[in-house]
Structure 1
């Protein structure tokens, strides 16, 4: 049984005793019943009550909730106490709002860090008003601009001018691997050293390569259907993987799974740890598989073929050989594939010469988000990880002024930011550095051209508002 406060029990006993002695005393009943009435409190403000309510649990009946709400919400009418005159109120206000020198101040003020605040703002409202004024005065400026030229150009003799091959990849170890004819070279971007990994005979040259995600192994596909794993650090062949019977044009990694696509029209998943490496064999394309790319999460695989089709596969259902979607919107071979790094399920694909379109796909809904007709062969696509942009590399075009160039597009509007027209031959492939700041293009004229095109813009400290500094909503850029 819950315990009642002692004074409430005592008060109730007194009331019962009074009724027992004089049960017909109506006045006493009215007085007793009016003890906790808000009306009595308002009508007799000087009356003192011995037990107006529990000391720790307030009595709701003693509260004038309507008046309290009015006082809290109505800011136009000040609450005046009739016991004080206007002179006293003015003196009290001056004491609370003016300092010793007569300057206005506030007792409770939210202030930012002295290092981040650029001017002595007094409160958040003043910061916000100042930011609105500054934003109206600042004219919009172009923070992103393309470089005027390459940051570095390397000679790449004997590079094969073949649209379907993928012979360059930049690993997380900051080493660029590139196949030049019968040789495979490794270029260290930190030490700028170049070394040859191996040399092959004329009958079987590299046609595709890809670094593993941890950059411990380099996978190399060949014209004669071989697929090898190399330890690049030790310059040692680790193992050979079988399964294809024609050239391996594209390969991609997903953890310990190496996926390869071939001219034999098949896609094979290899578990590089297992003796029997083939874990899945897919046959959906009717011509050569020339583009493969796993999503960032590793649950979806995109494959493009020379028959103009684009397939989306789920990793959990690949053993059943059932694809998730088949997109038929391209009008030429689909080689260029790139998954969006900041929006899950968005894929960019590029078509060959007869198509010349960049298409954005929502692989969760199976729909095409956007299509941009570039009027030029799309040979490579790379997303900018620092800005919402995507770069495309182009080759042949019926229009002379737009072929062999790099184009930067703003996502998701796909508005063109600009283009670079420094190539004398078509772009065969694109790859970017591990930090996402530098991009390299392999060109059919036998050169590797490096571009500082993806880096963040320079910090503009004058654009950092005092309110943002106070709230810490902005962070300094990487570079």
Structure 2
């Protein structure tokens, strides 16, 4: 297993003379005789102590209690829906409760009703920008204008529960969004036309996660078929990497914001692993075993060395935690107070770094993590 931290370049020194070598050996032996360990062992211990102090200090900064709890009646108990999102540049959260989307303004501490689907419960939402949101319900996906409170465009192509937007230039220099469907298809949809620009049979089962890389044109997808795949549409209709180290659905997925070609994924109930890996060749950097299924995963925007996971599992379980992790060794930094039911929805505000989590027990909790 390769370490996540990149190796630093080092100058190769000239060979030491025999006299200098003997002096170095003597100094090392003398240090060990006086201190009971070598200087290198002493330095390692000092670094370890500093890491523990830093972790304890970081843990002390984080409250295990939420700063706010809101009622969320109608929250769907479905592992595959994606119904909580924050705006890209504003601290405004959207959440779907059954048929209706509500907005929560974190700065103003106010809520408002935005949109109600006519027939089917909302299964996925995703912001295009601060003025428009993508909404999927039943067999329809639509673009809704937030300031004008009107429907801009409606598309009909199968039932999907994963929506991701793409910025212009990623696909053919035109604005697209991507819909992942229950039968494993990816539909790349030009927002100006009725028919998909491209449809791919990407997975053998339902697609339950999809996210564009922050630094490029790669799309990562996770599926109920226990795989995560990396796509580069410039290279054709086949994935560049197919990652099959999980033993359950891959719904928890996010790109590292500070390191190119690095992603973290989490497995479902029969897997429970968190893995950080390379999207170039699929090599594993770090992995760990969680207590329960990993439902959601997201890097902290202003702390790229940390990410958050939410968990859950059988209804008989009493603990459904929210956990903050250190990236480079997957050490647990803090475990926040949990929900009564599995935590299926999660997001982090872009500016205030407020973490929001939602559970089918009808509660939405807000946590201060920075």
Does TM, scored on the shorter chain, surpass 0.5?
yes
**Corresponding position: 1:216 with 2:128:** no
Partner Cα separation in structure 1 for residue 355 and residue 307 of structure 2 = 12
Counterpart residue number, 1:370 = 286
Q: Distance in 1 between matches of 2:256 and 2:131?
A: 25
Instruction: Answer yes or no: is the 8 Å Cα contact 1:385–1:436 preserved in 2.
Output: no
Could you tell me how far apart the structure 1 residues matched to 2:299 and 2:314 are? 23
Separation in 2, partners of 1:392, 1:436: 19
Q: What is residue 229 of structure 1 aligned with on the other side?
A: 143
* Aligned-pair CA distance for 1:308: 0.8
User: Aligned partners of 2:339, 2:197: CA distance in 1, in Å?
Assistant: 42
Counterpart check, 1:438 vs 2:354 = yes
Where does residue 385 of structure 1 map in the other structure? 301
- Contact 2:64 2:337 survives alignment (8 Å): no
The SS at the match of 2:344 is strand
Residue aligned with 1:144, SS: helix
Counterpart mapping for 1:243-322 below 5 A: 244-245=157-158, 247-255=159-167, 256-272=175-191, 274-317=192-235, 320-322=236-238
Q: CA deviation at 1:397?
A: 5.6
- Partner of residue 28, structure 2: none
Gap regions ≥5 residues in structure 1: 1-134, 456-479
* Aligned-CA RMSD value: 2.1
Q: May I ask how many residue pairs the two structures share in their alignment?
A: 310
After TM superposition, list the pairs within 5 Å mapping 1:16-415 onto structure 2. Answer: 140=53, 142-145=56-59, 146-171=62-87, 172-201=89-118, 203-212=119-128, 214-222=129-137, 224-242=138-156, 244-245=157-158, 247-255=159-167, 256-272=175-191, 274-317=192-235, 320-387=236-303, 388-396=305-313, 400=317, 403-415=319-331
Q: Which moved more, 1:416-425 or 1:426-435?
A: 416-425
Alpha carbons of 1:419 and 1:278: their partners in 2 closer, same or farther (altered >3 Å)? same
More RCO (CA 8 Å, sep 6+): 2
CA distance in 1, matches of 2:107, 2:331: 34
Tell me the TM-score normalized by structure 2. Answer: 0.79
Distance 2:337 2:350 in 1: 25
Rounded Cα–Cα distance in structure 2 between residues aligned with 1:217 and 1:415: 38
Which structure is higher in helix share? 1
Q: Secondary structure of 1:278's match?
A: coil
**Larger C-alpha radius of gyration, 1 or 2?**
1
Q: Distance in 1 between matches of 2:338 and 2:121?
A: 29
> How far apart in 2 are the matches of 1:392 and 1:399?
20
SS in 2 for 1:427: coil
Give the distance between the partners of 1:235 and 1:398, measured in 2 at CA: 38
Deviation at 1:398, TM superposition (A): 9.6
- 1:395/1:199 CA distance change after superposition, 3 Å: same
Instruction: Note the C-alpha offset of 1:275.
Output: 2.4
Could you tell me which runs of 5 or more consecutive residues in structure 2 were left unpaired when the two chains were aligned.
1-45, 168-174
Higher strand share goes to which structure? 2
Report deviation, 1:372.
1.0
Question: In the alignment, which residue of structure 2 is the partner of 1:52?
Answer: none
